[in-house]
Structure 1
Amino acid sequence: MIYITGDTHANFNRFSTKNFPEQKEMTKDDSVIICGDFGGIWNYLYSDKTETYWLKWLEDKPFTILFVDGNHENFDRLSKEFKVVNYHGGKAHRIRSNIYHLMRGYVFEFEGKKFFTFGGASSHDIQDGILKIEDYSTLSDLVKDYNTRTRAGQMLRIDHISWWEKELPSYYEMQRGRRELEKVNYEVDYVITHCAPQDIVSYISHGYYKPDILTMYLGEIARELKFTKWYFGHYHNEQAIMDKFILHYNRIERIV
């Protein structure tokens, strides 16, 4: 069994037995895929008590958690703290015994189905800038300025604390995605991303979300790729577009 859901942002209550009773019939061979903004790896330099508690809570679940990265992940820790392993035909960061980050640009095989994964997205809550630690005498000065400006209604984030440049892909990651798709003749069963191809973004947001390097790349992929369903999160809604592009937020859907 494979289920899929949208952004969790470190709020994992949807996976309680009450909210997700289907897990009573699941084993570690069954999976739930999160379409980005997992949020379970978020604390600044190391795992705090809250983060450790919830990762252990998820590890005790009878199923396996898989996620692509969103824009709200601690990319510094994700890339340095966790081992990269070969996993179901692709590469993944092993977070816990049953929690895996599916890296960008790989084709995985689960339950006899091919899944192309490509996480990442542009943050849209940074209109007033990205603050940098090196621009302040002390961390306290940065926090004071941040609190003052956000209370005044500004939309800010802090580099390497609440925002990371790696939210958008590198040239190498995009090239890897194409190489891996070439190996399967540009044909998969499912695509899992955080943001959507630009044509879909324009349709669901009526022009609010502007094009970026990733949405344009995904648009190129979508035009070339044969697939059954494309699942994504990021936009905090539930919507099906042309019956092939499925936006998820809180709902958990079985797909295999």
Structure 2
Amino acid sequence: MLYITGDTHGDYDRFEDKAVRRLKQGDVLVVCGDFGFVWDGGKREQKILKKLGKKKYTILFVPGSGDNYDLLREYPEETVYGAPARRIEQGVYQLLTGQFYDIDGKRLLAFGGGESMDQDIIGRELFCDQLPTKAELDVFCQQHAGEKTDLVVSYEPPYAIASFLDLEAKADSYYGLYLDTISRQIEFKQWFFGKHHVDKRVTPRYMGVFEKVVPYR
């Protein structure tokens, strides 16, 4: 079965929660951004990733604004659930933006990346390439207009949803505005996003996720 949750921020205790421990062999847990376990590449981090890879369920994630994109690019790509993904460990994969995955009889569209105000110690914005380019998003819209999917998982919500919630919505946020466009150009049943740390159904089709583990049936 397919389950959705929000940002884990490198907190292993999230995977010790009762709701997560109930997951069974063959289940899939999708994290909507800020996975946080690929950050410094150190021994402690690698040890935790190996523990995650030994879970009886599969862990998938889209990156948010709190993941190390430079490190993520070092992991190998392989095909899982019918589309390319980065294998972090056996059983732990990064879903790639704009890819459709067939999981447990459901079709999932992934949109990673997110805008952040974080800066490093020299005042330079962290991971300036953590967002898809406008050109990449244009190509997606051209190639997939009218396409159908069961669910969309992302870190950022479409701008209209963030604006409705008044959650740091910015009219100059090109990614949020593009997600608005994509939401109108594809057919989908549910959209889950993790950026704003809320467990809240905004409309019948949009849901913010954080600590809850939401089954998708």
TM-score by length of 2: 0.92
Match of 1:97 among 68, 86, 90: 90
The answer on whether the counterparts of 1:106 and 1:177 sit within 8 Å (CA) in structure 2 is no
Select the residue among 39, 42, 53 that pairs with 1:42.
Answer: 39
- Give 2:112's aligned residue: 119
The answer to whether residue 23 in structure 2 is matched with residue 63 in structure 1 is: no
Q: 1:174 to 1:41 in 2, by over 3 A?
A: same
Q: Deviations for 1:150-177, whole angstroms, at most 9, x for unmatched residues?
A: xxxxxxx655xxx201221123531453
Structure 1 residues not aligned, in runs of 5+: 133-156
The structure whose residues are more often helix, as a share, is 1
Q: For residues 101 and 8 of structure 1, what CA distance do their matches in structure 2 show? A: 14
- Name the SS for the 1:165 alignment partner: coil
Q: Distance in 2 between matches of 1:254 and 1:171?
A: 33
1:10: how far off? 0.4
Query: Contact (CA 8 Å) 2:19, 2:213: kept in 1 or not?
Result: no
| 80, 98, 102: which one aligns with 1:87 | 80
Aligned length: 216
Equivalent residue number for residue 12 of structure 2: 12
TM-score by length of 1: 0.78
1:229-240 to 2 correspondences below 5 Å: 229-240=190-201
> Which 5+ residue runs of structure 2 have no aligned equivalent?
none
Equivalent residue, structure 1, for 2:147? 186
| C-alpha RMSD of matched pairs (Å) | 1.9
Give the drift of 1:21: 3.1
List structure 1 segments (4+ residues) > 3 angstroms apart after TM superposition.
none
Percent identity between the aligned chains? 31
Shift of 1:113: 1.2
Cα deviation, residue 178, structure 1: 2.7
Highest Rg: 1 or 2?
A: 1
2:129 match: secondary structure = helix
